[in-house]
Amino acid sequence: MRISKMQLKDNINGYLFCAPGIILFLTVGLYSVCFSIFLSFWNWTGVDFFGTARFVGLDNFKTFLAGANPIRTARFWGSLLRNFQIGFFSIIFIVPIALALAFVVTNTKGASVYRTIFFIPMVASGAGMFYAWQGLFNSKGAVNALMRLLHLDFFVVRQGMFGDPNTAMTGIIITVIWGAIPGTLMLYYAGLSNIDGTLYEAADIDGASKFQQLWRITWPLLKPMTIIVIIQQLNGAFQMFENVWVMTKGGPGGSTDVVGTIMYTAAFTDNAYGLTSAYGWSVFVLTLVLSLVSMRGFVGSKDNG
């Protein structure tokens, strides 16, 4: 099949328009990923790779996965456990809260106004909101002041929620839930809006209760959205860095350290770039496995249903 000069010109123009994005991806995105994998098998301090880098094989992974360095091992597994906690609690709270709010918005007049209000946290500056939360949870912040006003002194944290090792993670989880609800609400709102109303009419005729309609119609049809939510929350939990670093920097006493913060300190405090890459790829593999298991679990339950 012969291509006319006009078609050839159009094809060339199309490739030229795509070229900047392709070049950027190849030079920044793909190169960074490949170099990170390569670097995880080397010991490098970030200066003069060809002069100072030393190939160590799997030693970087053994440092924190197999106990070669007990301190780093304990810190890694403790941080990973906190990532798990954030992911677990965010999922079990965000899904029902966002779903309930989506029901309210769907069945309330002026839904566009409520959508705008609920969506505000997603468009606000992340760092600014984290500093605001830091002020709210401060020892003299609004949360402690409200507890004292309500004479609920047993809820008052004298050092501030982020200043007490026993409550700092609770504060982090609260901010994560608050920040993730708007996006999840929009997903569920879109899912609810696409459910055929005749299904509920048929269920009413058959005498199904509202709970039965929710369990037998709404929830199964929202499973694809729920899979997306779970994967998003797991991915977000294991990539978490900005909010923790702004609000606590992993403190007090490492009580809010997550994998992101130990990667940051390994790279920019200890200058251990190979170890940092090993941290990152270990968490990537774990997140991938958890996402696949979640998808398999939901798809399997759908098939069985």
Q: According to the model, what pLDDT value does residue 18 have?
A: 87
pLDDT band, very low/low/confident/very high, at 214 (cuts 50, 70, 90): confident
Q: According to the model, what pLDDT value does residue 297 have?
A: 67
Q: Please, which residues have CB within 8 angstroms of residue 53's CB and are 6 or more apart in sequence? A: 42, 43, 44, 274
Asked if pLDDT for residue 164 goes beyond 80, the answer is: yes
Global pTM reads 0.83
State the average pLDDT for the chain: 86
Q: Which of 65-79, 100-114, 174-188 has the lowest mean pLDDT?
A: 100-114
Instruction: Report the half-sphere exposure of 124 (CA within 13 A, side-chain side).
Output: 18
Q: How far is CA 209 from the centre of its chain?
A: 36
